[in-house]
Amino acid sequence: MRSTPAIAPVPRLTPGGHARIAERLRDITEHRLPQMRPLLVDRERDERDVAEFERLLAEVDSLTALLAEAQIIVDDPTGFEGRVGLGMRVHVTLADGSKAWVRPVHPAEAFLDDERISMTSPLGLALMGARASHVVWVGAPAGVWACTVLAIDPSVSD
């Protein structure tokens, strides 16, 4: 029996995440790469500069492909069913008892600010589909811990 290749889902980004990733791409192509080019032709060039240039080129390719394929998540107040979804803000109680707002997002935009977390992280996975007042169990490398969903803000715009 022949297996069919899995079709990768279309990446979904928040409007703010899409804009910030596009900004990062512009910064790399318009500023960082041009600043590095003179370092590459220097007779005494540092191979770390070459490696960084190549890393940036790979990042440009990756971000360009992501933005070309990505679907931007839109706010749909009528479609909110009370469950945590991609890009929504979620107020939670963390393992240490502190409270924080988090926003599960595509892994490519998780680095953009302190509120965003990757939807593939242990906390992100545990939160997807949860409702306010639910306790979800987070399987983290340090052990399993309980996280309480205090509130959900369904807005994906930031």
Q: Tens of pLDDT along 80-100?
A: 899 999 999 999 998 889 999
Helix (H) or strand (E) holding 122: helix 122-127
Percent of the chain with pLDDT over 90: 78
Q: What is the pTM of this model?
A: 0.84
User: For residue 151, what pLDDT is reported?
Assistant: 97
Task: Please report the pLDDT score of residue 61 as a whole number.
Answer: 98
Q: Are residues 45 and 87 in the same domain?
A: no
**Contact at 8 Å (CB) between 87 and 93?**
no
Nearest to 83 by CA among 122, 136, 132, 29: 132
Helix (H) / strand (E) element for 13: namely: strand 12-13
* Residue 2 clears pLDDT 70, i.e. is over it: no
Domain that holds residue 25: 12-72
pLDDT tens digits for 45-57? 899 999 999 999 9
Residue where a domain terminates, one of 72, 87, 113: 72
- What is the mean pLDDT of the segment spanning 26-53? 93
Are residues 66 and 21 located together in one domain of the fold? yes
Q: Looking at residue 118, which CATH number applies to its domain?
A: 3.10.50.30
Same domain, 32 and 88: no
Spell out the residues 6+ positions from residue 27 whose beta carbon is closer than 8 angstroms to its own. none
Q: Which amino acid is at 38?
A: P
